[in-house]
């Protein structure tokens, strides 16, 4: 009984000790936590809107620095041009945010009670670390941020550039030149008021501070230039030649023969006479080469004229006149249909007036040393030939002739020759078509040094076909 009573008494003493130990432990924990918050911000603490809870002042300064680098003020022009996005941190002095964090911590610590860390109370501290910022300091920093390479990009006006094909419009470029004085003043005022780094800062939009190009791409000045050029290059100038060939100049043609310049707000377009003369030469060569065609009446009404090349003294187009006429049309800017002038004083004009050339004729090209023979519109035979010797001045005469007669197995006699031929068909005095057994080769440039005395030397088989199918008064056209 006595032992049992002693055990109960000891248990009662232990039960009193337990609460006391609990209180001691709790007091120790409160002391440790309270001591911790002597070095850290209390829970719920924000400095300039940045969460600094449970941070040391140094850690809070780092958090504020990151927030300042992320916080940007967008600087723009009322025209819609964004000049730049400027980080607030770029304008802070070294150590400014560390001082803000230390000041906030000191204020919190001075006002804090030992149990404040237990209270869920927001603790907000504001500061304006840029309130002493000067306009000149902002100007220097702004210039460095916008022009890191030292020189601004100047705005460039839209312009019209003349190209080989015509023209092109080079668009205006804004550049990044600003009214630094006005921007710096407005930005400094905005920065001095910054006391919160937690959210996006309002954009700073100013009127007419970005230096704009004076000539925009869609400006009336550019439109006037392009309209003028389009009208000049778009002229319809059509050339109608007497052999029924037609050529209409393209805008590329007009550009190639024109001196086009942009002078200030004006376009100067005028013909380049040298280039135009070269253009006329090319077109005439392709469409109406001079001295090449002669016009004869055709037997069929549906084909009233045929054109044959007949020699250098024939149909000659007035190139200089055509050049001047095109130049005048270009200068008027109204386009034109032009029929060139020709020299029509060809020596056979009167002699052959009224002759009708049908679809049966022999065509001889002296330049190509080649002959084509057409029968009823179909090519019957073609062959290389040898014509009059140029070295001896025995040239074969160019012109339009008729076969006089034809004979077989005859001797051709002259001052220095006495030759047998199987077929003989004269058409121009003593000049005619015949075979030439003494030749093995025909064509190319043989006639220049080893040509005939003016006749058309023809391979035997070709001559036989010609003899059998062509008759007196059939045409022989030599060119």
Tell me the CB-side half-sphere exposure of residue 156, using CA atoms within 13 A.
9
pLDDT band at 445 (very low <50, low <70, confident <90, very high): very high
% of the chain with per-residue pLDDT over 90: 42
d(CA 321, CA 316): 12
Cβ(270)–Cβ(259) below 8 Å: yes
pLDDT tens per residue, range 100-155: 989 988 888 887 666 665 677 788 898 999 888 899 988 888 888 888 877 788 88
Strands 82-87, 72-77: parallel, antiparallel or unpaired by DSSP? antiparallel
pLDDT band at 370 (very low <50, low <70, confident <90, very high): very high
At residue 385, the pLDDT reads 98
Q: What is the mean pLDDT of residues 67-78?
A: 88
Beta bridge pairs of residue 284? none
Q: Which residues contact 23 (CB under 8 A, 6 or more apart)?
A: none
d(CA 473, CA 167): 60
Strands 258-263, 266-271: parallel, antiparallel or unpaired by DSSP? antiparallel
Q: Which residues contact 310 (CB under 8 A, 6 or more apart)?
A: 292, 293, 294, 346, 348, 398, 399, 400, 477, 478, 479
455: nearest Cα among 196, 269, 474, 421: 421
Q: Which residue has the tokens 């010609």?
A: 466
Helix (H) or strand (E) holding 294: strand 294-297
Burial of 210 by CB count in 10 Å (0-12 exposed, 13-18 middle, 19+ buried)? buried
Who has greater pLDDT, 283 or 288? 283
Highest mean pLDDT, choosing among 174-183, 296-305, 349-358: 174-183
Highest mean pLDDT, choosing among 33-37, 207-211, 413-417, 432-436: 432-436
Predicted confidence (pLDDT) at residue 470 exceeds the cutoff of 50: yes
At residue 336, the pLDDT reads 93
């Amino acid at each position: 009984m006595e032992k049992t009573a002693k055990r109960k008494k000891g248990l009662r003493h232990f039960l009193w000790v337990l609460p006391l130990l609990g209180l001691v432990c709790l007091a120790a924990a409160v002391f440790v936590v309270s001591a911790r918050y002597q070095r850290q911000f209390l829970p719920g603490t924000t400095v300039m809107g940045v969460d600094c809870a449970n941070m040391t002042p140094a850690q809070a300064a780092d958090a504020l620095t990151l927030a300042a680098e992320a916080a940007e003020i967008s600087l723009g022009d009322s025209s819609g041009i964004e000049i730049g996005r400027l980080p607030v941190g770029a304008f802070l002095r070294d150590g400014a945010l560390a001082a803000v964090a230390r000041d906030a911590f000191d204020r919190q610590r001075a006002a804090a009670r030992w149990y404040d860390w237990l209270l869920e109370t927001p603790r907000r501290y504001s500061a304006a670390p840029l309130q002493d910022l000067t306009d000149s300091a902002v100007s220097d920093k702004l210039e460095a941020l916008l022009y890191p390479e030292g020189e601004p990009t100047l705005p460039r006006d839209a312009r019209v550039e003349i190209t080989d094909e015509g023209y092109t419009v080079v668009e205006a470029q804004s550049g990044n030149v600003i009214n630094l004085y006005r921007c710096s003043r407005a930005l400094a005022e905005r920065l001095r008021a910054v006391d919160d780094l937690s959210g996006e800062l309002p954009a700073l939009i100013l009127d007419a501070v970005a230096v704009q190009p004076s000539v925009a791409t869609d400006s009336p000045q550019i439109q006037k230039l392009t309209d003028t050029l389009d009208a000049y290059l778009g002229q319809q100038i059509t050339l109608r030649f007497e052999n029924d060939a037609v050529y209409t100049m393209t805008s590329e043609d007009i550009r190639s023969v024109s001196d086009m310049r942009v002078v200030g707000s004006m376009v100067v377009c005028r013909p380049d006479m040298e280039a135009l003369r070269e253009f006329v030469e090319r077109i005439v060569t392709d469409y109406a080469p001079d001295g090449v065609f002669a016009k004869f009446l055709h037997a069929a009404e549906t084909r009233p004229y045929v054109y044959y090349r007949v020699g250098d003294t024939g149909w000659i187009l007035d190139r200089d006149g055509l050049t001047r006429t095109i130049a005048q049309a270009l200068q008027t800017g109204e386009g034109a249909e032009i029929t060139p002038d020709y020299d029509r004083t060809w020596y056979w004009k009167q002699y052959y007036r009224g002759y009708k050339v049908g679809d049966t004729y022999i065509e001889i090209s002296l330049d190509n040393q080649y002959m084509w023979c057409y029968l009823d519109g179909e090519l019957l035979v073609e062959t290389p030939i040898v014509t009059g010797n140029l070295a001896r001045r025995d040239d074969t005469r160019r012109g339009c002739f008729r076969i006089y007669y034809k004979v077989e197995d005859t001797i051709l006699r002259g001052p220095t020759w006495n030759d047998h031929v199987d077929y003989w068909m004269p058409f121009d005095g003593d000049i005619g078509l015949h075979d030439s057994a003494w030749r093995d080769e025909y064509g190319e440039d043989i006639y220049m040094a080893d040509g005939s005395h003016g006749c058309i030397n023809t391979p035997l088989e070709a001559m036989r076909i010609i003899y059998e199918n062509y008759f007196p008064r059939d045409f022989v056209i030599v060119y």
